[in-house]
Amino acid sequence: MKIKSLAAAVFMLCTLFSGIDSARAEWNASSPVSVISREDGSGTRGAFVELFGVLGEIKGKKADLTTLDAQITNSTSVMMTTVAGDAYGIGYISLGALNDKVKAVKINGAEPSIENIQNGSYTVSRPFNIAAAPNTDNAVALDFIAFILSPKGQEVVKAGGYIPVAEQKEFSSAKPEGKAVVGGSSSVSPIMEKLAEAYKTVNPNAKLELQVTDSTTGMISALNGNYDIGLASRELKAKEIEQGLKPVVIATDGIAVIVNKNNPVENLTNEQVREIYLGNAKTWDEVSK
């Protein structure tokens, strides 16, 4: 009796799973696009909607009109895992985080790469900003900022997969002693870590402490003096500049639009991406129409 019921249960599970498995069929262009977006207020999302024009007017105010049907995540890793597993998914991430588990599509025929961003053919990019605490006299912090903007610092930026700034100033360290606290955006932190390491070889007297939080915390903490240097992966808000923060661009980061590897789509136009994120193109054959 027991064995029979057990066998029946196993059999049912097997048929269920094999049935499900056969559903995992070939690419079907009439399937709905699963749109994945970052959360409201994220630096990556802000730059993305601005660059693709996923904007509109509601009650006379300029608004981010990303479709409410879009799945929302607050992490790059969840975004990539979801797109890697979902044949009909589309998302966007920092170019520096791109790997071969997902496919980055060309935008208007240009491949997302450092060269294409520099020569202007790939236009989806955003600045990484830092801001020193207003009127700071922390010699280490000021010296470190000068280092970041020097050719040596910008070499580190380039090696990290980001686009260096055009205007670089020669610099030799005054080797001040002391400590500086650097903190903010988790998107900027990886490159900041490498910069801090490189700075240590230039000025072994200084101690840099890196705290990973987010853009807004970075700016607030720079304002109230908890951080000597705050990091932001977005443009500074008018209010933050009003309160005395001066943004300094230290690098440019590309944003890659990613799809599943089984997706035959190789190229999307600005307009197509916009239609997808506005929720107007709901299936993949509507997109390529």
User: DSSP letters along 12-63, please?
Assistant: HHHHHHHHHHHHS-S--TTSBPEEEEEPTT-HHHHHHHHHHT-EEEETTEEE
Angle at 239 between CA 238 and CA 244, to 5 degrees: 100
Q: How far apart are CB 74 and another protein at their closest, in Å?
A: 5
Distance between CA 54 and CA 166 in Å, rounded?
A: 29
Nearer to another protein, 82 or 118 (CB): 82
Residue 196 near residue 208 (C-beta atoms within 8 A): yes
Nearer to another protein, 239 or 289 (CB): 239
Q: How far apart are CB 289 and another protein at their closest, in Å?
A: 20
Which positions lie near another protein, rule CB under 8 A? Answer: 19-21, 23-24, 31-32, 34, 39-43, 58-59, 61-64, 68-75, 78, 81-82, 85-86, 88-89, 213-217, 237, 239
Nearer to another protein, 13 or 159 (CB): 13
Q: How far apart are CB 46 and another protein at their closest, in Å?
A: 9
Q: How far apart are CB 244 and another protein at their closest, in Å?
A: 16
Distance between CA 96 and CA 128 in Å, rounded?
A: 12
Residue 109 near residue 126 (C-beta atoms within 8 A): no
Q: How far apart are CB 93 and another protein at their closest, in Å?
A: 16
Name the one residue in this structure whose structure tokens are 């009109």.
65
Beta strand 34-38 pairing with 71-73 = parallel
User: Which helix or strand (DSSP H or E) is residue 157 part of?
Assistant: helix 151-159
Nearer to another protein, 73 or 94 (CB): 73
Q: How far apart are CB 164 and another protein at their closest, in Å?
A: 26
Nearer to another protein, 96 or 279 (CB): 279
Nearer to another protein, 32 or 151 (CB): 32
